[in-house]
Structure 1
């Protein structure tokens, strides 16, 4: 399977959960800037990562977003209280 560029972002209400999510993402050796991670993942790796992260967050309070940087893939949002809210496609230059 080919790896695709993606962005993972989070907004975690609890400092403890935020540190756990950060450590999990760093364990995957992903490049980061605060709560935004740039990565290249296969679909299977992304699913495994989201399973690990879903065990760490509170879906009622926290938001976790995976956005593929390829218009053939859809944005994946893990939260119950909000939508992604994009009115237009997001572009990434990097």
Structure 2
């Protein structure tokens, strides 16, 4: 008769231990999972990189906004127009000397 109670005890122990295993699994995910505590340092580093990239793009955007404002068809800046003519169309005055910097 002792053999009949052993499987019942084992299944009872498994039923009692399964919530503990589930809890340990969830705790492991909270620590080492893709969005766990150990991943925070990587996220912080990536966030800092993205902030630096954003600041660089904002500076580039401001430069482009300035150029667009200088090329407004109603009031073109003469210096900007001259710079673009010289750069894009290779237009120079006869008394000017062009020095190429590479």
Is TM more than 0.5 here? no
What range is the shorter-chain TM-score in?
under 0.3
Structure 1 or 2: larger strand share?
1
- Would you tell me which structure has more helix in proportion to its own residues? 2
Q: Which has the larger radius of gyration?
A: 2
Higher relative contact order (CA 8 A, sep 6+): 1
Q: TM-score, normalised by structure 1?
A: 0.27
